[in-house]
A and B are shown apart, each in its own frame.
Chain A
Amino acid sequence: MDVWLQQLLNAISLGAIYALIALGYTMVYGIIKLINFAHGDVFMVGAFLGYYAMLLVDGTPLGANPWTKLLVALLVAMVGSTLLGVTIERVAYRRLRNSPRLAALTTAIGVSFLLEYGTIYLRGAQGAQPEAYPTLFTAHLDLFGATLKMDALVILVTSFLLMIVLQFIVQNTQTGRAMRAVSFDMDAARLMGISVDRTISVTFALGSALGGAAGVVYGLYYTSIDPFMGLLPGLKAFIAAVVGGIGSIPGAMVGGFLIGLLETGVSALGFSLFRDAVAFIVLILILLVRPEGIFGEHVREKV
């Protein structure tokens, strides 16, 4: 029993990370119909920014307490990722808003590789080598025989807080209303006086901030980060977004947890080597059976 509980706890922690990244995909896809391939790499950059921030505060009073250290790392990662995300949108995607989707997707792939190899280049000699993430919390919590690491708890609390904030912004603020309007009908929103460009920037900012936070949380969980860490979690998070119904915020959360659960389950059953393939099989299945995802609505193609 405790083994299963342990696996469940692992699954939820992992799912929370996927959900955080998936939110960035789903919001961007919902608004401009672009798979922001670079989002996984924004997540990677966030992880590195958080890491360097922690190194920087290590000698100072801020670094003495793990909670302030975490806060600083999260803050730096989120601000940095936000700037990065908004810049990417401004420089690479805005020009392509009326081009074929293929051009935008190709650009996104290009940006993704630029971020990966740019990071390797900037890191110099160690380049592509992984970096050990500092351990912040060592405490354990015994829960019906399973151990809940403090890290996992922090991951969960951070993720849920961020998701609640996001849900509040999207549902209850003027900007959130504008976002929903633009995603529903860009032209009509423009006619109603909504600044489409600004709204899209805000969407990228929010999604990237969550991605950056996810990077830090991922680093804490796996205790190792590297310049290519964005690719696979990014793709899995995208799959989570598709499973949940792309464009739907609750969908992204549910999808993230489902993928986390599935992956942990497959590992627990002894197929851990195929862990990374499972998400793709799920993707192909869901696209065949219910392409609109769990929370999505079926949209008929216009002729």
Chain B
Amino acid sequence: MGRPFEMRSWTRVGGVLLALLVGYGVVELALRSGWIGRYGENVLMAIGINILLAVSLHVILGLAGQFSIGQAGFLAVGAYTAAVVTTRLDMPFELALVAGVVVSVLMGLLVGLPTLRLRGDYLAIATLGFAEIVRISLLNFDYVGGAAGMQLPHLTTWTHLFVSLVLVFTLVLTFTHSAYGRATLAVREDEIAAEAMGISPTFVKVFAFAFGAGIAGLAGGLYAHTFYVIQPVDFGFLKSFEILVFVVLGGIGSLSGATLAAVLLTILSTYLQQFPEIRMILYSVVLILIMLFRPQGLLGDREFGDLLSVFRPKKGADVR
């Protein structure tokens, strides 16, 4: 893995905080002054939400090595929970987001506990099956509008998105470099060896699964209140596939890679909005070519920090 997340001095922390504040302020100002219009704001929201989704799968697939192709299921759970809380129960939006996360985490546990005994391909199909079950249930549940879906107020603001992103990145980075994070990576690399070292693979996997599910649930709440309407059809296999492409393209195991891919592909797909089939053909061809010629993804499992350190002498050999 990449370099540890070093926080040697407070100046560094201060620098990061300052950069974040400036970034937040600049965008906020641009939004208020109308320099970023309604369209630009939607693109911005889509990018942020897709980053969250990419990170959610990064935790499950990149860190824990569990092949989930049902992320859209957790997204749906978060979206619908949040939507019910705001429109049916008339609670504040922030509470709805929290509720979405909580229910998604519970779902993650519910799916994780039985299915994580499965490996690789079987787990993939089981998670896909879970997402399908969620979608079909929503389709038949009249309380949430059935196939017509739910109409929602536009509540997601740049502040919500920004705070969510900072929170999620802080949590994921802290987790990755904690003892639990290292245990998770150990399970990803070799489950049996990790177990021999006293790590419980089931615990680690279920934890990662619930963690990733929670992030997807948060993304769901934000998603639901950005685009006015949610329908079960939005959370099909196609959505899960898109999320998978972010992580695979960026590099399985690389947080920066997943983020970068989410940003690039979201921008690309807004340009290709009028040609959905060309967009999907492009997506799949890119995915196939990446797998054939660079299966580790664009960044491999490196992070941006590592790229900067290319010019410095190497401290240790690469793990892979």
Q: With an 8 A cutoff between CB atoms, is A281 at the interface? A: yes
B213-270 residues with Cβ-Cβ distance < 8 A to A are: 237, 241, 244, 248, 252
* Interface residue from B140, B241, B288 paired with A92 (Cβ < 8 Å): B288
**A117 touching B284, Cβ below 8 Å:** yes
**B122 touching A277, Cβ below 8 Å:** no
Q: With an 8 A cutoff between CB atoms, is B292 at the interface? A: yes
Q: With an 8 A cutoff between CB atoms, is A202 at the interface? A: no
* Interface residue from A99, A276, A279, A287 paired with B122 (Cβ < 8 Å): A287
The verdict on A110 contacting B287 (CB below 8 Å), with A102-B67, A277-B132 known, is yes
**B277 touching A117, Cβ below 8 Å:** yes
Q: With an 8 A cutoff between CB atoms, is B136 at the interface? A: yes
**A235 touching B284, Cβ below 8 Å:** no
CA distance A279 to B136 in the complex (A): 12
**B292 touching A95, Cβ below 8 Å:** yes
CA distance A153 to B132 in the complex (A): 32
**A283 touching B125, Cβ below 8 Å:** yes
Interface residues on A, range: 35 or more
Residues of A within 8 A of B283 (CB): 113
Interface residues on B, range: 35 or more
Q: Interface digits, A254-290 against B, CB 8 Å rule (1 contact, 0 not)?
A: 0000000000000000000110110111011001100
Residues of A within 8 A of B241 (CB): 109, 113
Residues of A within 8 A of B121 (CB): 33-35, 101, 105
Which residue on chain B has the smallest CB distance to residue A104? B291
CA distance A105 to B67 in the complex (A): 10
**A100 touching B295, Cβ below 8 Å:** yes
* Interface residue from A105, A114, A277 paired with B137 (Cβ < 8 Å): A277
Q: How far is the CB of A132 from chain B (nearest CB, A)?
A: 22
The verdict on A283 contacting B288 (CB below 8 Å), with A35-B121, A120-B277 known, is no
CA distance A102 to B115 in the complex (A): 17
Q: Interface digits, B96-119 against A, CB 8 Å rule (1 contact, 0 not)?
A: 000000000000000000110110
Residues of A within 8 A of B125 (CB): 35, 235, 238-239, 242, 283
Residues of B within 8 A of A121 (CB): 277-278, 281
Q: How far is the CB of B237 from chain A (nearest CB, A)?
A: 7
The verdict on A107 contacting B292 (CB below 8 Å), with A273-B140, A284-B115 known, is yes
**A103 touching B128, Cβ below 8 Å:** no
A160-178 residues with Cβ-Cβ distance < 8 A to B are: none
Residues of B within 8 A of A110 (CB): 284-285, 287-288, 291
Which residue on chain B has the smallest CB distance to residue A34? B121
Residues of B within 8 A of A189 (CB): none
**A111 touching B122, Cβ below 8 Å:** no
Q: How far is the CB of A245 from chain B (nearest CB, A)?
A: 13
Residues of B within 8 A of A105 (CB): 67, 120-121, 124
Which residue on chain B has the smallest CB distance to residue A100? B295
**B295 touching A114, Cβ below 8 Å:** no
CA distance A277 to B73 in the complex (A): 13
**B69 touching A109, Cβ below 8 Å:** yes
Which residue on chain B has the smallest CB distance to residue A282? B129
Q: How far is the CB of A105 from chain B (nearest CB, A)?
A: 6
CA distance A114 to B282 in the complex (A): 8
CA distance A65 to B117 in the complex (A): 54
Residues of A within 8 A of B277 (CB): 117, 120-121, 127-128
Which residue on chain A has the smallest CB distance to residue B293? A95
Which residue on chain B has the smallest CB distance to residue A128? B277
Which residue on chain B has the smallest CB distance to residue A279? B129
CA distance A120 to B276 in the complex (A): 10
Q: With an 8 A cutoff between CB atoms, is A106 at the interface? A: yes
Q: With an 8 A cutoff between CB atoms, is B280 at the interface? A: yes
Residues of B within 8 A of A111 (CB): 284, 288
A14-38 residues with Cβ-Cβ distance < 8 A to B are: 33-35
**A303 touching B192, Cβ below 8 Å:** yes
Q: With an 8 A cutoff between CB atoms, is B139 at the interface? A: yes
Residues of A within 8 A of B124 (CB): 35, 105
CA distance A117 to B248 in the complex (A): 20
Residues of A within 8 A of B69 (CB): 109
CA distance A238 to B126 in the complex (A): 12
Identify the interface centre among A92, A99, A102, A276: most chain B CB within 10 Å of its CB: A102
Q: How far is the CB of A221 from chain B (nearest CB, A)?
A: 22
B10-53 residues with Cβ-Cβ distance < 8 A to A are: none
Q: How far is the CB of B233 from chain A (nearest CB, A)?
A: 12
Residues of B within 8 A of A99 (CB): 291, 295
> Can you list 11 A-B contacts with CB-CB less than 8 angstroms, sorted by A residue number?
A101-B121, A102-B252, A106-B291, A111-B284, A113-B283, A120-B277, A283-B125, A283-B126, A284-B115, A284-B126, A303-B192
- Pairs A-B, 8 closest by C-beta atoms: A280-B129, A110-B287, A113-B284, A114-B284, A117-B280, A110-B288, A107-B291, A103-B295
Q: Which residues of A contact B (CB under 8 A)?
A: 33-35, 92, 95-96, 99-107, 109-114, 116-118, 120-121, 127-128, 231, 235, 238-239, 242, 273-274, 276-277, 279-281, 283-284, 287-288, 291, 303
* Contacts beyond the supplied A96-B292, A235-B129, A284-B115: 14 A-B pairs with Cβ under 8 Å: A95-B292, A103-B291, A103-B295, A106-B244, A110-B291, A113-B284, A114-B285, A242-B122, A273-B136, A276-B136, A277-B136, A280-B132, A283-B125, A287-B122
